[in-house]
Amino acid sequence: MPTQKRRAVVLLSGGLDSATVLAMAVHEGYEAHALSFRYGQRHTVELEAAARVAKALGATRHVVADIDLRVFGGSALTDDTLAVPHHASADDLGDEIPVTYVPARNTIFLSFALAWAETLDASDIFIGVSALDYSGYPDCRPEYVAAYETMANLATKAGVEGRQRLRIHTPLIQLTKAETIRRGLELGVDYAWTHSCYDPVDGRACGSCDSCLLRGRGFAELGLTDPALSATG
């Protein structure tokens, strides 16, 4: 009889990084359960991208959880009174944490993933954070992920009973955007499926927000054109 695959929860935004991580989890032989969020973000087109990615890459199941973070605001992604910053070049991005930071977002997302992992009898969660080509978000750092993993193993019935030893996989954490793209292409990811823009216009990538610029630079470093940007008008 074939060996049953290990189950994993994969956080899937619909963007470049999370699509790559889903491909990596599937390639490593996991039964991937993809988890996306409708959290009040202005760029809900990414959820359409997440559905495309989950289907194309063979996720066993794709769930979209609803959480309305607009009740707190504090981010240009969840508060329409705050403008998404735009720049001419990725070289113009500063070192400060930008207004697109959503307070405690990864902590919230990982908590949902932890809950689902327990019900699935899964001990693995994948998240596409990077400590290199990113916007300075504090919840993308290795020390944050390590601390969360320690906490998570104290937080569940399955963990206390010894049935679950949770591991949070961060396969992109030391990769540049270009290295991430190269790995995804090796695994058959078509980045035209994905959407990363913070401030899309009619569903199309703006090309000048932090996310678009970092993504575009990654493709350029490989001598390629970002399919999302080539689709802009």
pLDDT of residue 233: 37
Average pLDDT of each block of 10 consecutive residues along the chain (233 residues)? 82 97 98 97 90 98 96 92 87 78 93 96 95 74 94 87 90 95 98 94 89 93 90 44
Q: Which single residue is written with the structure tokens 């990084």? A: 17
**3 state DSSP class of 125:** strand
Enter the DSSP assignment of 41. Answer: -
Q: Which single residue is written with the structure tokens 């990769």? A: 175
pLDDT of residue 138: 82
pLDDT of residue 137: 79
* CA separation for the pair 126, 43 (Å, rounded): 22
Taking only the tens place, the pLDDT of each residue in 84-105 is 989 877 777 777 788 888 999 9
* CA separation for the pair 135, 115 (Å, rounded): 28
pLDDT of residue 193: 95
Per DSSP (E only), the strands in the chain are 7-11, 31-38, 61-66, 124-126, 167-169
Q: Say which residues have a Cβ less than 8 Å from residue 53's Cβ, sequence separation at least 6.
A: 12, 14, 18, 19, 22, 34, 193, 194
Strand 31-38 relative to strand 124-126: parallel, antiparallel, unpaired?
unpaired
Cβ-based burial of 156 (10 A; exposed 0-12, middle 13-18, buried ≥19)? middle
Taking only the tens place, the pLDDT of each residue in 128-152 is 998 876 566 788 889 999 999 999 9
